[in-house]
Structure 1
Amino acid sequence: MSVLFFKPIPRPAIWGHTLVKEYFGYDDFPLGIGQSWSFSAQEGASTVCLSDPYQGQTLLDLWKNHQELFGHPHEDFPVIISLVGPEDDLSIQVHPNAEHAKKLGFPTGKNEGWYFIEAESGANIVYGHHAANETELRQCIQENRWDDLIQHLDVHSGDFVYLPAGLLHALRKGSIVYEIQQATDITYRFYDYHRKDEYGHERELHMEEAIDCLSYNPEDMKNQIHPVETYYQNCIQTVFIANDSFTVTKLEVTGEVEYIHTNYQLATVVKGQGKVNNQDIKVGDNFLIPTHTHIQLNGQMTIMMTTK
C-alpha cells in the first residue's frame, strides 16, 4: 500500500483571518479561517481522500469499510488533527474528562496536545489556574479577578504542550500550531474577554459545564513532557507523547530516509518540502501512511505524525 493524501477542511473562527491560508498555502480557503482540519472522521465533517483507489471517499468511510489500512477494527476513529493560526486570543476553555463525556454519550473525554510550529518571542498560553477549590474559583469570577485566577505558560518554537481533559487553557495569538485532540468534539467556553461578534453579541459561555469539568490538581497544570529522540541517517525522530489517547511523533528529515512503522500514521508536513515515495510534498500536505507500510522520504522538511 502507498500513502493516501487528504484534503483539509477550513474552519472559520472569530479569531481567524488569513494566517492559516497563507502559511500552509491553502489558496482555496476563504478569509476568516482560524484552523483547518487535516484529519477528521466526524459525521458530516470528515476529510476527503484525494488518492486512488479511494479518491472521493471520506476518512470515516475508509475507517468503517477498509480497516486493512488501519488495523484497528471495532474501535472509533480516535482523533482530530488540526493546523491552527490564531490572529487573536482564543477563548479560555476546558474539555470534558471521560466521566463527564460519558454522561453525554461519548466513549472518551478530550485530551489534547499542541506542537508549536512557530511562536513569537515572548509568546505564552493560558495553562491552568490558581484557585485551590471551586469556592475560591467562583469568588474570583464574581469579583472579576481574572488576572489573579489565570495561570500562563511560556512557549517557544518547537515546544510540545500536553493539555489533559479538565485543564483550563487557551491558545493565544503569536503562534502557529499543530493540534491533536481526541475525537470527542466538545469544548466549554469559560471566559472570552467580553468580545463581541459582528452583530454586537458576546459569544455564549458554558460556565457551569466548564466548572463541572475543571481540575484543581496542581500536577495537571505542569507540562510534564519527556521527549524521546532517536537518531537515524538523515533523520531525527522525536516521540513527544505516547499514552492511551494518542502517540505524537516528529520527523526532521534532512535527506533520503526509509521510514518503517507497524501502525498507521496521520502525517502532516509542517515545514519544508521534499518527496514521499517520489511524490512531491510541501508544507500543509496531509497523508495517511497505512499500517505496515514502508515509505521513502527525501528532502528538507519536518513532518508531524499521530497515531493511537
Structure 2
Amino acid sequence: MNEPLFLKAVLQEKIWGGTKLKDVFGYDLPSDKVGECWAISAHPNGPSTILNGPYQGMTLAEVWEKHRDVFGNAKGDVFPLLTKILDANDDLSVQVHPDDAYGLAHEGELGKTECWYVIDADEGAEIIYGHHAQTKEELETMIREGKWNDLLRRIKVKKGDFFFVPSGTIHAIGAGIMILETQQSSDTTYRVYDYDRKGDDGKPRELHIQQSVDVTTVPHVDAASDIKTEKLENVEITSYIKTDFFDVYQWKITGKAAFEATAPYTLVSVLEGEGTLSVEAGDYPLHKGTHFILPNEIKNWSIDGTLQIIASTP
C-alpha cells in the first residue's frame, strides 16, 4: 500500500455540541448540536471510511483486520488510536477514564489516556484538570457532598495550549473551546458530575460515582511537560508528548518540507491552510479539515504549502 489513506470522518451529536465543525472546518453537520468529529477512528461506535485507493469504501477497522501489512504488521486486536476534533459549545461533563487493566476488566475495552491541542478558545475559557483531594476517602466525600468548587482545579486556556490527560485524571473541557484530541481507541467515560443536566429523554444523565472513585489518581499529579521544537527546512516541528500509547507532533509548514517515517504508520490532521502531499505514488491535495494515514510502505514524503498539522504515531 503506497498511497495515503484519506478518511471520511464520523460526526457525533452531543448535548454540549455546536456548529463550529461546520463554521471552521466546513463539515456537513446533521444538526446544530454536533460535538465531536471522529476523524481517524476504527472504534465500533464511529469507524472512519477510506475515501481512496484499493480499500475505498472499507472502514479503517476492516483494513486493520484484513490488511495488517498496511500498518507494518503491528500487533493488537484493535487499531490503537483515535483522533477527534471537539467543539465544546457548552461545558462537557466532569469525567475520568480508566487505565487498560480496569477498562478491560470492567468494560471489555482499552482504558483511555488522551491529550489535547487547543485549536481555539474564547477569552477566559477554562478546563477542569485534576482535583484537590488528598485521599480516596476525601475524594468520595467531596463528590457525594457536591463540593465542586473545593474539589476541582480550573485552568484558563488559550489557542495553541497542549495538555496531556493520562487515565485517572479528572477533567472537563469548558464552553468556548475547540480541541484536537489524540487518544487511545476507547469510548469508556465515567461521569463524575454533569451540572444536573437532563438528556434527550428528560432524565438526569447517568453518573458513575463508584467507578470514578475507583480509577481517579489521588492525589492529583500534573503530567510532566517536555515540549521541544526544532526548525528544519520550511518546517517547524514541535514534539508535544511521547508516551507508551502515542507520540504527538505539530508540523508548521511554509514551503516544501521533507519528512521521514519514524513509526510503522502516521496519523495526520490538517488544522490550517492548504498544500500538496507528495509520495512516490503521486500528489494529493491537502486542505483544512483533511485527515489521513501514511501507511508503512511510505517511508518518505514531502508536503508543499502553508499548513498547520497535528500528527501522531503509535
Using the alignment, how far apart are the partners of 2:159 and 2:271 within structure 1? Answer: 12
- Deviation, 1:72, is 3.7
Whether contact under 8 Å (2:273, 2:287) holds in the other structure is yes
Using the alignment, how far apart are the partners of 2:29 and 2:89 within structure 1? Answer: 19
State the Cα RMSD in Å.
Answer: 1.7
Which sections of structure 1, spanning at least 5 residues, go unmatched? none
Using the alignment, how far apart are the partners of 1:161 and 1:298 within structure 2? Answer: 29
2:34 aligned with 1:33:
yes
The count of aligned residue pairs is 306
Using the alignment, how far apart are the partners of 1:300 and 1:14 within structure 2? Answer: 35
Whether contact under 8 Å (1:41, 1:59) holds in the other structure is yes
Which sections of structure 2, spanning at least 5 residues, go unmatched? none
Paired position in structure 2 for 1:5: 6
- Deviation, 1:153, is 2.1
Using the alignment, how far apart are the partners of 1:213 and 1:46 within structure 2? Answer: 27
Write the letter of the residue equivalent to 2:284: Q
SS of the residue 1:104 aligns to: helix
Whether contact under 8 Å (2:143, 2:192) holds in the other structure is no
Using the alignment, how far apart are the partners of 1:249 and 1:265 within structure 2? Answer: 11
Write the letter of the residue equivalent to 1:226: D
Paired position in structure 2 for 1:296: 302
- Deviation, 1:31, is 2.7
Using the alignment, how far apart are the partners of 1:174 and 1:124 within structure 2? Answer: 9
2:284 aligned with 1:279:
yes
Q: 1:267 to 1:188 in 2, by over 3 A?
A: same
Paired position in structure 2 for 1:239: 239
- Deviation, 1:105, is 5.9
Using the alignment, how far apart are the partners of 1:87 and 1:185 within structure 2? Answer: 21
- Deviation, 1:149, is 0.8
Whether contact under 8 Å (1:130, 1:150) holds in the other structure is yes
- Deviation, 1:235, is 0.3
Paired position in structure 2 for 1:256: 256
Using the alignment, how far apart are the partners of 2:191 and 2:198 within structure 1? Answer: 14
Write the letter of the residue equivalent to 1:39: I
Paired position in structure 2 for 1:138: 140
Sequence identity (%) = 35
- Deviation, 1:19, is 1.3
Write the letter of the residue equivalent to 1:300: T
Q: 1:91 to 1:107 in 2, by over 3 A?
A: closer
TM-score (norm 1): 0.94
Write the letter of the residue equivalent to 2:260: I
Whether contact under 8 Å (1:261, 1:292) holds in the other structure is no
Q: 1:107 to 1:14 in 2, by over 3 A?
A: closer
Paired position in structure 2 for 1:15: 16
Using the alignment, how far apart are the partners of 1:15 and 1:6 within structure 2? Answer: 25
TM-score (norm 2): 0.92
